[in-house]
Chains A and B, each alone.
Chain A
Amino acid sequence: MSEGTLYDKVWERHKVADLPNGQDQLFVGLHLVHEVTSPQAFGMLREREMEVAFPDRTVATTDHIVPTTAEGRSRPLADERAEEMLTHLERNTEEAGIRFFGLDDDRQGIAHVVGPELGFVQPGMTVVCGDSHTSTHGAFGAIGMGIGTSQIRDVFATGSVSADRKAVRRVEVTGELGDGVGAKDVILNVIRELGVDGGVGHVYEYGGEAIRALDMEGRLAVCNMSIEGGARAGYINPDETTYEYLRGREFAPEGEAFEERREYWESIRSDEDAEYDDVVEVDASGLAPQVSWGTTPEQVVGVDEPVPEPSETRDPDAAETAQAHTEVTPGETMEGHGIDVAFLGTCTNGRVADFREAARVLAGREVADGVRALAVPGSGTVKRTLEAAGIDRVFEDAGFQWREAGCSMCLAMNDDALEGEEVCASSSNRNYVGRQGSTEGRTHLMSPGMVAAAAVEGAVTDVRAFDTADEVGRSVADAEVDG
């Protein structure tokens, strides 16, 4: 049993009661709501004649089903079912008095992008959302947990969840990252090492010099994919990087209140002598950019390493099926593997720093013939920030479509989908068969810089070979942006 970790401290502060089923009732500090998993929960609440207990601890946005073209967003939406879901959310949030960032609000976007960037998510909170990538918010030193719809009903009705305490595994990422290698590569490598079910029963506390060196966008990307590693939650202890990120955010405390709050934030950091249930070390020095070759997020290699033979993997049968699907050749590297679509965005890599990383590669270059390239900012705030710095022009000049905020081709609940057997270089988090909207489609997960490089080459390629010190690249992509 862990002791003295951030997880233990935050848990204790939020514990309401022991439940008869042996679980703990935990108070929810922030409940993020979106249109896909909430309407049924609001329905259940109505059936029981209950009301939302803590509307002020609840924030809603719309992300999964929204069209990402400006024309597509006029109401009513062309897709009747999408329109119905959106209308339900509008009505439900209004009735309950819940703050909602809808299509007419320029802060609308993916819940896991909006919550952090507006300052709603802070260290030492419990954050839940009817979405597995709620683990993202652990980047602040919060406990972020994805929940199902019946649990959403519970949170609406009681401001709490029923949960059991997990074991805490410290994931120590040592070493220094090289140029062109970043947070996405770190987390893909961690999942590759520990497996997609390695985290079951655990939360991950990420630490070590490679983690400490990451900016908040990078930390969000790492914690985001904890769930792909089987861990319900993943977090990073808050530090100056965290506090500086929060300072000045719209819903973060200001002035004296900020300094007071900071004492709490400091107090919930894991103690120096905290006890963990388990400690693993992953060495990130010399790490190459990572690319997924298969259909689960652990089927990953460095771009300069050969794709493994099925027999060398944890699950040879699954590897064989996956390789038949993606048509990659064991023994060869992923370099040169042709792509049809390049997709930038999502709650993993849809933030300002991610687009800036891609823009450094794209400046002065063009997307290869025949490649469909989509840049989908994670929120309206991200989009406007980039536009103010002129970075949207880098994407458009290179031949990317510059879209409105949403989940888009991450799961293709709107019109943005792979068609037929298209191969996609994607900055998203899941490469499951059918995930991007076509059951024959193929997804290769990689960092935003790697997606940009693949777009230019028309094939998977090593972003480290790209000269990003290019004059145009510097001046445009390094322009002062807040975010």
Chain B
Amino acid sequence: MSDAPGPAGDDASGADDGASVPAIRRVAGTGVPLRGDDIDTDQILPARFLKAVTFDDMGTYAFYDRRRDEDGGRNDHPFNEYRGANVLAVNDNFGCGSSREHAPQGLMRWGVEAIVGESFAEIFRDNCKSLGIATLSVAPEEAEALQSFIEANPDAGIEVDVREETVRYGGTTVEGEVPDAMREALLAGIWDTTAVMRSNLDRAKAVRDALPYTDD
């Protein structure tokens, strides 16, 4: 295989690797409330829809089973009722379960650009970072208050500020936490790490050579 260094050049921001990586400072729009702890990736994107070699259709499959009645008709699931929203409001341990990037891909392609909730499963949150979806952790009662606000005011504006680590709605500002790595990555537009890591390929090789097991 090629030993040539990647095409990253000297721009460590990773902006020239062929992927568009805009900085994301804030996400403004309307909300979609989704209540419940431990919502797993099997619910977000059922396994039978993983049988595809691209992510193109994943938006259609987000919460597919939850959005339908037994006869296949659409029910009153928030993903049916709040179309056009881009800020998802969840509770505790959202996105637990499998590592499938199909789950955040599905949410993103449905329209989600930021998620506010009590906490997130780690692989899910890493995947969000890779895709440039902001996640903001807030206190449990704040997550519930936001959900109630959206339910009462479905068209009201909501703004997630990545730099300030806040969510603003209806005259309220709630402080939360965007993980440092995600915050840096989103603000600087470096959430796509391939190019910057590729520019360190020689160092990666040096690490490999120093490891005792890599000559097998």
Can you name 18 extra interface pairs (CB under 8 A) apart from A39-B53, A97-B1?
A14-B207, A22-B184, A27-B204, A27-B208, A29-B211, A36-B100, A148-B99, A151-B130, A158-B194, A159-B201, A159-B208, A160-B204, A197-B38, A197-B121, A200-B122, A432-B42, A432-B43, A434-B46
Say yes or no: A20 contacts B190, CB within 8 Å: yes
Say which residue of B40, B181, B196 sits within 8 Å of A22 (CB atoms).
Answer: B181
B110 within 8 A of partner (CB): no
Q: Which of chain A's residues 49-77 have a Cβ closer than 8 Å to chain B? A: 49-55, 57, 64-65
Q: Which of B1-39 contact A (CB under 8 A)?
A: 1-2, 6-7, 12-13, 17-19, 36-38
B71 in the interface, Cβ–Cβ < 8 Å? no
Q: Could you tell me if B212 and A264 are in contact, using CB atoms closer than 8 angstroms?
A: yes
A197, B213: Cβ atoms closer than 8 Å: no
Q: Which residue of B lies closest to A36 (CB)?
A: B50
Q: Which residues of A contact B104 (CB under 8 A)?
A: 148
Determine whether the beta carbon of A435 is less than 8 Å from that of B42.
yes
Residues of B with C-beta under 8 A to A159:
201, 204, 208
Q: B113 in the interface, Cβ–Cβ < 8 Å?
A: no
Task: Name A92's closest neighbour in chain B (CB-CB).
Answer: B53
Contacts of A232 in B (CB 8 A): 122-123
Q: Are B37 and A434 touching (Cβ within 8 A)?
A: no
Q: How many whole Å from B103's CB to the nearest CB in chain A?
A: 9
Given known A20-B196, A151-B126, A296-B38, contact A433–B121 (CB-CB < 8 A): no
Q: Is residue A412 within 8 Å, beta carbon to beta carbon, of the partner chain?
A: yes
Chain A's closest residue to B203 (CB) is A16
- Whether A47 lies near B54 (C-beta < 8 A) is no
Residues of A within 8 A of B (CB): 13-17, 19-23, 25, 27, 29, 36-37, 39-40, 43, 47-55, 57, 64-65, 79, 81-82, 84-85, 88, 96-97, 122, 124-125, 130-132, 134, 146-151, 153-154, 157-160, 162, 164, 196-197, 200-201, 227, 230, 232, 251, 253, 260-261, 264, 296, 315, 318, 411-413, 430, 432-435, 437, 439
B188 an interface residue at 8 Å Cβ cutoff? yes
By a CB distance below 8 angstroms, the chain A residues around B101 are 37, 40, 130, 148-150
Contact A146 to B13, CB < 8 A, known contacts A157-B6, A157-B194: no
A-B CB contact pairs (8 Å), 18 listed: A16-B207, A17-B203, A19-B196, A20-B188, A20-B190, A20-B196, A25-B197, A36-B100, A49-B18, A53-B2, A84-B53, A85-B52, A132-B99, A148-B99, A149-B127, A227-B123, A318-B36, A437-B47
> Which B residues are in CB contact (< 8 Å) with A147?
99, 123, 126
A197 touches B208 (CB 8 A): no
Interface string of B118-138 (1 = CB under 8 A from A): 010111001100110000000
- A132 and B123: CB pair below 8 A? yes
State how many angstroms separate the Cβ of B25 from the closest Cβ of chain A.
Answer: 15
Contact of B1 with A52 in the complex, beta carbons under 8 Å: yes
Contacting residue for A122 out of B52, B92, B213, CB 8 A: B213
Bound-state Cα–Cα, A350 to B178, Å: 39
Q: Total number of A-B contacts with CB less than 8 angstroms?
A: 225
Task: Say yes or no: B207 contacts A53, CB within 8 Å.
Answer: no
The verdict on B148 contacting chain A, using a C-beta distance below 8 Å, is: no
Contact A318 B38 (CB under 8 A): yes
A21 touches B1 (CB 8 A): no
| Contact digits for B186-202, partner A, Cβ 8 Å, 1 yes 0 no | 00101111101110110
User: Does B1 contact A55, Cβ atoms closer than 8 Å?
Assistant: yes
Find chain A residues with CB under 8 A from B193 CB: 19, 21, 23, 154, 162
* B151 sits at the interface (CB 8 A): no
Q: Is B172 an interface residue (CB 8 A)?
A: no
Determine the chain B residues whose CB is within 8 A of the CB of A253 once the complex forms. Answer: 213, 216
- Specify which of A134, A153, A160, A296 is in contact with B200 (CB 8 Å cutoff): A160
Q: Which residue of A lies closest to B182 (CB)?
A: A21
Write the chain B residue with the least CB distance to A267. Answer: B212
Residues 47-102 of B at the A interface (beta carbon under 8 Å)? 47-48, 50-55, 65, 92-93, 96-102
Least distance between A354 CB and chain B CB atoms (Å): 21
Compute how far the CA of A197 lies from the CA of B143 in the bound complex, rounded to whole angstroms.
Answer: 17
Q: How far is the CA of A201 from the CA of B6 in the complex (A)?
A: 32
- Which residues does chain A contribute within 8 Å of B194, judged by CB atoms? 48, 50, 153-154, 157-158
- Partner pick for B47 among A50, A54, A124, A413, CB 8 A cutoff: A413
Q: Check A130 against B127 for contact (C-beta < 8 Å).
A: no
Nearest Cβ in chain B — how far from A414, in angstroms?
Answer: 10
By the criterion CB–CB under 8 Å, are A196 and B53 in contact?
A: no
Inter-subunit contact A21/B6 (CB<8 Å): no
B54 touches A48 (CB 8 A): no
Query: In whole angstroms, how far apart are the Cα atoms of A251 and B213 in the complex?
Result: 11
Residues of B within 8 A of A36 (CB): 50-51, 100
* Chain B: CB-nearest residue to A128: B99
Contact of B97 among A85, A264, A432 (CB under 8 A): A432
Residue of B whose beta carbon sits closest to that of A30: B213
CA distance A479 to B99 in the complex (A): 38
Within the complex, the shortest CB–CB distance from B115 to chain A, in Å, comes to 15
Nearest-neighbor residue (CB-CB) of B100 within chain A: A37
Residues of B within 8 A of A230 (CB): 93, 96, 121-122
Q: Given A16-B207, A21-B191, A157-B197: A40 and B55 within 8 A (CB)?
A: yes
Docked pose: A337 CA to B123 CA in angstroms: 35
Q: Contact at B208–A413, with CB atoms within 8 Å?
A: no
A149 / chain B contacts, CB cutoff of 8 Å: 55, 101-102, 105, 127
